[in-house]
Amino acid sequence: MKAVRDLRVIALAFVAASIVGCGSDSSTGPDRAPADLGVVLSEMSLPSVASGLVPGVPALPSTSALTPSSCSYSSTSQSFACPTVTASGLTFTRSFTLLSGSGTPQSQFDPTSTAAVRTTTTTTGTITTGGSTMTVDGHDALTLSGILTGVHMLDGTSVLNVQGTEAGSTTPYTLSVSTTIASLVLPASVADRWPKSGKVMVDLTDTMLGATTTTHMAMTFNGTSKVAVTLTSAGLTLSCTVDLAAQSPTCS
C-alpha cells in the first residue's frame, strides 16, 4: 500500500513540475509589463494530469498554447472561439474570455484594462497507445488574474473521465480525476522559478474488478522547490516534502 501511495505522490510532483514549467517559461525578465495576450495564454497551457496519477494509464496527447489571432470573437458568448484541434484520436475544443477588473467580458485585449483571462477546454474521443485503449471525456476552466498588477494568479478546475483497459489486459477500468488549482501565484521570471504560494489538489476515483479506490492529493507551494504534499487513500494519510528540483523527486 505504501509503495502505491508513494508512486502517486511522486507522480503528482511531476504534474506540479509541469505546471511550474508552463508558468515560468514565458517570462524573460523580473517584471511582466507590458502584458501580452499570447504570453498570458501560454502561461495557461497546462498538460493533462490523468496520466501521471495511476501507473499503467498512458499519457494523453497535449496541445500547443492558443494563438490569439486564430480565434474569433462571438458577441453571443462574449468569448473567443478557437480552432478545434485533433490529436491521436482526441478532439480539443477551446475558447477564452477577456475580463476587465470588474469581471466584465471584453471584445478585445487591452493591456491597460484587461485584468484576467479565462480559458475553457473540452476533450473527447478515444486513444490507443502502448496496447491500452481509453475513451476520454474532459472539461477544464482556468482563470489567470493579476494581469494589470503583474502578479499572475492561476485558479481553475478540471474534470477528466476515462474508461478503458490497461495494456496487456482485457480488464476494464473507469477513472475520474478532478483537479483544482487554488490561488497559485506563478513565478515572475525564469530565474524566479517556483510558485510563491497556492495549492494544486487532485481527487481521483478509479474502479477495476468491482473495487473502487478514492484518493485525495494536495500540494502546497511556498516559493521554493520543496513542496508539501499530502495524500489520503483507503483511510490512510501520508504527508511528506517533495523537491521538484531533484532529478528523481522522492517523498521524504
Three-state secondary structure of 12-79: HHHHHHHHHHHHHCCCCCCCCCCCCHHHHHHHCCCCCCHHHCCCCCCCCCCCCCCCHHHCEEECCCCE
- The pLDDT of residue 80 is 98
Q: Is residue 249 part of a domain?
A: no
* pLDDT, position 192: 75
**The pLDDT of residue 125 is above 80:** yes
Q: Is the pLDDT of residue 36 over 60?
A: yes
Mean pLDDT, range 38-52, rounded to an integer? 64
In this structure, is residue 86 part of a structural domain? Answer: yes
pLDDT band at 168 (very low <50, low <70, confident <90, very high): confident
The answer on pLDDT for 34 being more than 60 is no
Q: Does a structural domain hold residue 82?
A: yes
- Confidence label for 18 from pLDDT (cuts 50, 70 and 90): very low
**What average pLDDT does the structure give for the chain?**
79
pLDDT tops 90 at residue 175: no
CA-only gyration radius of the chain, Å: 19
Q: Which residue has the higher pLDDT, 16 or 212?
A: 212
Among the ranges 5-19, 23-37, 130-144, which has the highest mean pLDDT value? 130-144
- The structural domain count of the chain equals 1
- At 102, the pLDDT band (50, 70, 90 cuts) reads very high
The answer to whether residue 252 sits within a structural domain is: no
Q: Give the residue-averaged pLDDT of 110-121.
A: 94
Tell whether 250 is covered by a domain.
Answer: no
Residue 126, domain extent: 2-243
Q: Is the pLDDT of residue 37 over 70?
A: yes
Residue 5 has pLDDT above 70, yes or no: no
Q: How far is CA 45 from the centre of its chain?
A: 8
Reported as a pLDDT band with limits 50, 70 and 90, residue 72 is very high
Q: Decide if 108 is inside a domain.
A: yes
CB 233 within 8 A of CB 215: yes
Residue 194 lies in a domain: yes
pLDDT band at 87 (very low <50, low <70, confident <90, very high): confident
pTM of this prediction? 0.83
Distance CA 241, CA 243 (A): 7
Q: Is residue 124 part of a domain?
A: yes
